[in-house]
Chains A and B, each alone.
Chain A
Amino acid sequence: MNPYNYLYVSGLLFTIGAVGVVVRRNAIVVFMCVELMLNAANLAFVTFSRINGTLDGQVTAFFTMVVAACEVVVGLAIIVTIYRSRRSASVDDASLLKR
């Protein structure tokens, strides 16, 4: 199968994630969309690794997974704290700082 097809899938996943970040209102869902974007990047790395015949892309994918895991820890801590303060995880409710 033509490996370039995986790039199209990756681009599609990335777009779905980016659109999700912009249109969804729940912080958890926004965050999941970011994770989807990271996974799209991972898929692109692995695909290019296959196309180019070098291993760097696969190594990067592992680094991305670890970094994404760290990001989940920090992100959920922040989202849970703000949920406890406001009883809502909607990013629209958090608007104290707009002048």
Chain B
Amino acid sequence: MTFTAPVLDYALLAPILIVLAGALVGVLIEAFVRSSVRATAQLFVAVATIVIAFAQLMRVRNQASTTAAMSSLTFDGAGVLFMASILVIALISIFLIADQDNFTAAAAAVPGSLEEREAHQARVRTTEVFPLTLFAVAGMLLFPLASDLITLFVALEMLSLPLYLMAGLSRYRRLASQEAALKYFLLGAFSSAFFLFGAAFLYGYSSSVTFAGIQAAVTGGSGNDVFLLLGIAFVSVGLLFKVGAFPFHAWSPDVYQGAPTPVTAFMAAATKVAAFGAILRIFYVAFANAEWEWRPAVILIAIATMLFGSLVAIAQKDVKRMLAYSSIAHAGFLLAGVIALSKSGLDASIFYLFAYGVATVGGFAIVTLVRDSAGEVTDLNRWSGLGKRSPLVAGTFAFFLLAFAGIPMTSGFIGKFSIFSAAYQSGSVATLIAGVLSSAIAAFFYIRVIVLMFFKDPVEDGTSVVIPSALTSTTIAISAVVTLVLGIFPAPLINFIASTAVFLR
């Protein structure tokens, strides 16, 4: 028997490998650099890693439309766009994460213990969060490129495991933060078990773990259809869990609320891009010819997700919970792009993911600024009159809310318009109606917050807006500018996406 060495195409894998190398350097910094300069060193390494990975991605982007690592990964136009979006979102999230006031000094110490107090007094900083972020980013980069079930599963775990830990690192309300980590972990592990069981049935159906093999088996139609249906159903459960679609959304409000806000921002934005990248690839490539099996179910889930997210968000009194339900509604809107199953659906989804991701990071960045002596103030009632006290911060937040609502002149409008028109062109009128209806409902609760901030009297209870650090200001500024520019001049990006976004089948 001869053994052929695998061809890995290191140049194409380099963006992912660079991020992994940066994460490992971060681990070494934890061990060897003295604590006074550790945070600076970690921030430098993390930012440099992301920038170098992005540069390498730009260098090899013209080699797109090929497979790498023995067809485990597909490096195509859509994949490059997903990777680029993830890297941009990761960069602005890292600026936010660098504001260490949000993280506990001693994650392993019992909340309220002497050990914790000493660590806080000694100004110990949780710099481990940087390598954890980079590991998660590496998994996210891998996730939308994965084109076999093994790689998809490994990437899923690679992006999830660091996030489970990061959710538990909050400095304030630590019990709630640990609870968020526990819930996220248990439900995440539960859903990945579903994913894996489904993957086993897809393998049983097609006797291949690659998407191309599954597609060929679906087209050939010789396999056992029961296995195919079980496989699609269980794999979808695992993937829809990650984006927080309706029946599988239970974790997301709790985790968004409990996790440190910078982590919530990163998780909400980057995970969505990565997970929708993977969903789009598996549905557009592997399951495309079985559309009659899955499309009706996904349409139902999309409609239920949009309506549920928008309706429940109305009742929320906590700003992070409200944004969590709004992100559930957005997951529903994005599923419309999956339903479209067309080139325009893919283009619209990529634009929407990028625009929504950037605006989300900006929105959560503002949430980190409103504080009192016990940490962030997330109770919406205490946000009343914020516009009178600090018009700039409240105005920027209002702008992000309008972008989420999809008001013209913001990127959200262009995103929603293109994704709904793609769904309509594919013949799904029900999705369009539900989408427009839930956008209207969603606009209500976004605008309610704006009214609260600008037209109510301020409450005097020690709530104040802190002066943002330079890094946090950069994040907010970049997000606001991108959201505005994509709202006014979307054509260059739309044309660029339309000319490059393609899944290699």
Taking a contact as CB atoms closer than 8 A, the residue among A30, A40, A53, A95 that contacts B197 in the complex is: A40
Give the complex CA separation of A48 and B217 in angstroms: 15
> B interface, how many residues as a size bin?
35 or more
Give the complex CA separation of A97 and B168 in angstroms: 13
B52 at the binding interface (Cβ < 8 Å)? no
| Residue in A closest to B184 when the chains form the complex, CB atoms | A78
B189 at the binding interface (Cβ < 8 Å)? yes
Q: Is the CB of A41 within 8 A of B150?
A: no
Given A44-B204, A67-B157, A74-B164: A59 and B150 interface contact (C-beta under 8 Å): yes
> A interface, how many residues as a size bin?
35 or more
CB contacts under 8 Å to A, within B211-258, are: 253-254, 257-258
Which residues on B sit within 8 Å (CB–CB) of A18? 190, 193
B295 at the binding interface (Cβ < 8 Å)? no
B201 at the binding interface (Cβ < 8 Å)? yes
Q: Is the CB of A41 within 8 A of B204?
A: no
Nearest CB of chain A from residue B233's CB, rounded to whole Å: 13
Q: Is the CB of A60 within 8 A of B150?
A: yes
Q: Is the CB of B189 within 8 A of A75?
A: yes
Nearest CB of chain A from residue B315's CB, rounded to whole Å: 9
Which residues on A sit within 8 Å (CB–CB) of B317? 99
A 28-47 binary contact with B (CB < 8 Å = 1; else 0):
00110010011011101101
B176 at the binding interface (Cβ < 8 Å)? yes
Taking a contact as CB atoms closer than 8 A, the residue among A27, A71, A96 that contacts B157 in the complex is: A71
Partner-binding segment picked from B107-115, B300-308, B412-420, B449-457: B107-115
Nearest CB of chain A from residue B257's CB, rounded to whole Å: 6
Main secondary structure of the interface of B (DSSP, over half): helix
B179 at the binding interface (Cβ < 8 Å)? yes
B344 at the binding interface (Cβ < 8 Å)? no
A 73-98 binary contact with B (CB < 8 Å = 1; else 0):
01101110110111000010011111
Give the complex CA separation of A84 and B253 in angstroms: 25
Which residues on B sit within 8 Å (CB–CB) of A53? 207
Which residues on A sit within 8 Å (CB–CB) of B199? 41, 45, 60
Which residues on B sit within 8 Å (CB–CB) of A56? 150, 203, 207-209
Which residues on B sit within 8 Å (CB–CB) of A31? 186, 189
Q: Is the CB of B186 within 8 A of A85?
A: no
B502 at the binding interface (Cβ < 8 Å)? no
The 8 closest A-B pairs by CB, nearest first: A52-B207, A37-B193, A44-B200, A48-B204, A41-B196, A97-B254, A94-B179, A41-B197
Show the binding face of B for A, using Cβ within 8 Å. 107-108, 110-111, 149-150, 153-154, 157, 161, 164-165, 168, 173-176, 178-183, 185-186, 189-190, 193-194, 196-197, 199-201, 203-204, 207-209, 253-254, 257-258, 317-318, 321
Provide a sorted-by-A list of 12 A–B residue pairs whose CB atoms are within 8 angstroms.
Answer: A31-B189, A41-B193, A56-B208, A57-B200, A60-B209, A71-B189, A74-B165, A78-B164, A81-B178, A96-B176, A97-B183, A98-B254
- Extra 11 A-B pairs, beta carbons < 8 Å, given A18-B190, A52-B207, A82-B182: A17-B193, A30-B186, A44-B201, A56-B150, A60-B149, A67-B153, A78-B164, A91-B186, A94-B179, A97-B257, A99-B318
